[in-house]
Amino acid sequence: MTQLKFYADGLTYSKEHDQDRLKSQLSRVKRLMRDGEWRTLTDIQQAVGGSEAGISARLRDLRKTRHGSHAVEKKRVGDSRSGLHAYRLIVNPFAL
């Protein structure tokens, strides 16, 4: 399996403090989600750890070109007023 590279930016990002943690979380999210199953942020968080906000950010990262340009689908689940969504990863077969 190819070594996962992690690229981040932003005003609050510190390579020294954040890179290893975020790279590890991205790897865990990708490993879990590559089966194409629908999961809520809570489901993913319980499986890989971290916060739901962090999980949401890693799902956004997987959409970025530098992280493979994978498709992350989203659908509403439960009561329409709940705002609960489920996500699934469609792995880009051309990503390295």
Is residue 63, in this structure, part of any structural domain at all? Answer: yes
pLDDT digits (tens, 9 = 90+) for 21-36: 667 889 999 999 999 9
Q: How confident is the model at residue 1 (pLDDT cuts 50, 70, 90)?
A: very low
CATH number at residue 36: 1.10.10.10
Round to whole Å and give the CA distance between 75 and 72.
10
User: How confident is the model at residue 20, as a pLDDT?
Assistant: 65
Per-residue DSSP letter, 50: S
pLDDT digits (tens, 9 = 90+) for 44-96: 999 999 999 999 999 999 999 989 999 999 999 988 788 899 999 999 999 85
Given the structure tokens 């590559």, which residue do they identify? 34
Given the structure tokens 């490993």, which residue do they identify? 31
Is residue 39, in this structure, part of any structural domain at all? Answer: yes
pLDDT digits (tens, 9 = 90+) for 70-84: 999 999 998 878 889
Is residue 33, in this structure, part of any structural domain at all? Answer: yes
- End-to-end CA, the chain: 10
pTM of the shown model: 0.79
Domain count, the chain: 1
Is residue 34, in this structure, part of any structural domain at all? Answer: yes
Structural domain containing residue 39:
16-90
